[in-house]
Structure 1
């Protein structure tokens, strides 16, 4: 009897052991969908793309050169060397497509070659089919990839500022523009408006004025709190208190000392270079936050707090402003775009579709450059 019971128990154990592979397979089969769902949630990044480490390392080296060049009061081994000259405007074009309006800018620049420099940051992925016009030829700086809703647009603007600082010590103003921007006045008018700033405060010596920067700095805007926490609830603390967080237009004209301040900054950049949460993508516009916040915290009295680039947000789509089309181009439109509530009229405007070039060229000599 004992032998019989032992045999039965052994048979049961063998049966259980032989069934284990089947049980394991069944468990795995049932659990695979659950594992797939959980892995997707756990392993997929919760943030938008950030700044690649290699890009950051390259930028730090460039920014150090720009800071040293400015501290020394002269140029360094950069794009070009020049002796001191009259103050110049550095036109910084940030683009991810062809510079369609280059022919219009050529007319704007004509005859003033000693008073300006051009620098272009073109996204390496952009297919530029048009040949550069004379003022843009050879003026493309080493560029990195850019993407909306990421700090890469801040990096690109800082790269342009640094390249212009290294290149020419005569660059006094730095105008950030896009491929969709056009001038609203002649170069002569633009130059005089920037250089003869009646609101610029005197220096301690009283003999010459500090040049101000033309950058929009806004507080109390709708959705400002969501923009502030786009990287996480407490990410910006303590370097950037919410009370000092600002928003403004992506496009500005900076005085030289503020351009140096931007490329020298490490403290605020440490926060603003952090990627936004995917869940906050609709509130992630770092390029509209970093520059106004930095200048508000460092030198609020040295800024006009308004931009010189006109834009129409009345019928924006997907975060993009109104795009002007050929039927809208007229002398009355140019005059309307110039009007401003600030000290000066607007000097530039966006956003224009590429096919606006011909109608704008027809108005260039008779309207746009007739101040």
Structure 2
């Protein structure tokens, strides 16, 4: 006769609870996309703390122009990649002759296999990288690592340009450099320590009011972003930006908003999950809206996007007229960079380099 007393039934139920607790995650599909591994988060926090302390000790909270008058301000070109740097030869032509005015930093996904040889400006410029993937905050972490590495590496880095491996320059280096330093929309110089100092703006797209913005805001859950970020404060913009030094420090120092944006999106809302397009615009809009241009300097063609990817320019499309069209902008400046280009565009772009691209 099988035991059927209430005691036995209660005992079996009690035993089954921990078993279900262990087995359920292996049987049921996950409700969220993968989160950032704890080990990666700990490593990043240590890196960001070092960058923040070093910037504070060196007076780097400003625009990097105050305590090193003998050293010209530099641009940190930060390449975020998961494939070959196919356009390195074009960038090498862009950099040539301006070695005192720039630094290169590369964050390459650890799974990346580089088959093409690196040009001189890119050799030995890799930072310690972690795995990245779409629809996850890992792309934010990668950009923050690049910023931290650049802050630690050279106190003369005054601007921090995030670039993809599919990106090309649209103007000469000198034109690009002068555009950053001579921003006509920046506040008038202020007097400090007996000298005039300009607080340069960051070139970052910051947009509100998009019809799809609510879907993106609730990608992690209906009320998850509260109370740190209300829907009225939530912004979006291009993944690619140029930050002034004080904003680079602000980003690596941030913990409050990061604790929200690092949360994984719900799997059911994966199509609305673009953390890297929201974190930086939202943070800077909340902290220093007047210090930002609200537009990006990287041209992207979204007219025939596929799966969240912009149009990729192919070999037959490359021409001098295309370069001139890509420069056209409604903002104060023409676009300085453009993406996305297929690797086989390199040769025709090199042929246009001196006659069109670097001829301002």
Q: TM-score, normalised by structure 1?
A: 0.86
Q: How many residue pairs were aligned?
A: 330
How far 1:50 moved relative to its partner?
A: 1.1
> Are 1:249 and 2:238 an aligned pair?
yes
Distance 1:262 1:216 in 2: 16
How far 1:43 moved relative to its partner?
A: 3.5
How far 1:243 moved relative to its partner?
A: 0.3
How far 1:132 moved relative to its partner?
A: 1.6
Which residue of structure 2 lines up, in the alignment, with residue 234 of structure 1? 223
- Matched residue SS, 2:139: helix
Alignment of structure 1 residues 210-225 onto 2, 5 Å:
210-225=199-214
Which residue of structure 2 lines up, in the alignment, with residue 28 of structure 1? none
Distance 2:329 2:190 in 1: 31
Deviation track 1:195-217 (CA, whole Å, cap 9, x = no partner) reads 11111013553832210000000
Alignment of structure 1 residues 31-180 onto 2, 5 Å:
39=24, 43-73=28-58, 85-180=71-166
Distance 1:41 1:339 in 2: 52
Distance 2:197 2:51 in 1: 24
Change (3 A) 1:39 1:69: closer
How far 1:131 moved relative to its partner?
A: 2.1
> Conserved in 1, the CA contact under 8 Å of 2:75 and 2:160?
yes
How far 1:72 moved relative to its partner?
A: 1.2
Distance 1:204 1:194 in 2: 18
How far 1:144 moved relative to its partner?
A: 0.1
Q: TM-score, normalised by structure 2?
A: 0.89
Distance 1:297 1:39 in 2: 40
Which residue of structure 2 lines up, in the alignment, with residue 199 of structure 1? 185
Distance 2:205 2:24 in 1: 44
Distance 1:61 1:40 in 2: 31
Instruction: Say which of 230, 247, 254 aligns to 1:258.
Output: 247
Structure 1 runs (4+) greater than 3 angstroms displaced: 38-43
CA RMSD of aligned residues (A): 1.7
Deviation track 1:31-68 (CA, whole Å, cap 9, x = no partner) reads xxxx9xx9589743200011100000000010011101
Distance 1:132 1:41 in 2: 43
Change (3 A) 1:40 1:151: closer
Change (3 A) 1:134 1:220: same
> Conserved in 1, the CA contact under 8 Å of 2:206 and 2:295?
yes
- Matched residue SS, 1:205: strand
Q: Which range is displaced more, 207-216 or 94-103?
A: 207-216
Which residue of structure 1 lines up, in the alignment, with residue 6 of structure 2? none
Deviation track 1:221-273 (CA, whole Å, cap 9, x = no partner) reads 12100000000001000000110000000000000000000000000000000
Distance 1:204 1:183 in 2: 32
> Conserved in 1, the CA contact under 8 Å of 2:190 and 2:198?
no
Distance 1:222 1:355 in 2: 37
> Are 1:319 and 2:308 an aligned pair?
yes
Unaligned 5+ runs, structure 2: 3-19, 61-67
